[in-house]
Amino acid sequence: ENLILEPLASSLSVLSDEEKEAGVCLVDIGGGTTDVAIFHDNIIRHTAVIPFGGNIITSDIKQGCMVLTHQAESLKTKFGMAIAEEAKENEIITIPGLRNRPPKEISVKNLASIIEARMEEIIELVHAEIISAGYEGKLSGGIVLTGGGAQLSCVKQLVEYVTGMDARIGYPNEHLGKSSGELKSPMYATAIGLVLSGFMALDDREERYNQMQPDGRKRSARDNGGFFKKIMEKTKLLLVDDLDSKDY
């Protein structure tokens, strides 16, 4: 049974046709993994899945700050940043202690150091994928970050520092009109892309899908066996599932 790749869905909501033609690397930082998709001349040229995402950053914070998992997640989403130098030296976060123990104090700078170490590793692995695919220096569109991990403060700057490439955060704003501001978050890029895929005209979707495939993998509507029709039927359910979770 045919399915649509997550980075392909995300690309529909955050990438422009000009970026795909010029060459761009889409990096979707999810909870369990980071998905990489390289586009050039309007064709998807390379995909990869890096087995690290926001969950492992939460785990690092839990161990490094000796807190509970839900406290680590809250620290990451509310106070986390990807560059320790940007954190204020004396800023302290106080969290409740366990069973009548005194409150625990966490340094924002120490928190940022933990996050930066893991994010730098993830970005280096992304850069290695770009190099191994043969597209180093060929992506005029740079890197577009999306997914929950793209919401971390200073992540764009860290990506530019590590890779030497231009970067931006990918928001699905342009496709949502007057929708809720919450849905314009990069963490919903895949879900919005799936909805867009579901509502695109069949002929247009077939053309776009084939354009983004290497010549050897292009298929006709007959060969697809109802592929695009099945995608349309599933997107609404997938959107609901994606919106049920806000962790990154």
The mean pLDDT of 84-95, rounded to a whole number, is 93
Q: Which residues contact 74 (CB under 8 A, 6 or more apart)?
A: none
Which residues sit opposite 144 in a β-bridge? Answer: 26, 168
Q: State the pLDDT at residue 225.
A: 47
Long-range contacts (CB closer than 8 Å, 24 or more residues apart) made by 17-21: 17/42, 18/141, 19/141, 19/144, 20/141, 20/212
pLDDT at 57 over 50: yes
pLDDT at 149 over 80: yes
Helix (H) / strand (E) element for 116: namely: helix 108-132
Which residues sit opposite 43 in a β-bridge? Answer: 40
Lowest mean pLDDT across 59-73, 99-113, 170-184, 192-206: 192-206
**Taken in order 10, 47, 143, 109, is the CA torsion positive or negative?**
positive
Domains of the chain with bracketed CATH? 6-53+117-243 (3.30.420.40)
The mean pLDDT of 178-196, rounded to a whole number, is 57
| Mean pLDDT over the full length of the chain | 81
The mean pLDDT of 49-57, rounded to a whole number, is 96
Long-range contacts (CB closer than 8 Å, 24 or more residues apart) made by 86-89: 86/112, 86/153, 86/154, 87/111, 87/112
Distance (Å, rounded) from C-alpha 34 to C-alpha 7? 10
Distance (Å, rounded) from C-alpha 23 to C-alpha 133? 13
pLDDT at 118 over 80: yes
pLDDT at 191 over 70: no
Q: State the pLDDT at residue 58.
A: 98
Distance (Å, rounded) from C-alpha 166 to C-alpha 159? 8
180 and 174 in contact (C-beta within 8 Å)?
Answer: no
Instruction: Specify the amino acid at residue 28.
Output: D
pLDDT at 56 over 80: yes
Question: How would DSSP label each residue in 43-74?
Answer: EEEEEEEES--HHHHHHHHHHHHT--HHHHHH
Supply the pTM of this predicted model.
0.74
What is the percent of the chain with per-residue pLDDT over 90, rounded to a whole number? 56
Which residues sit opposite 25 in a β-bridge? Answer: 38, 143
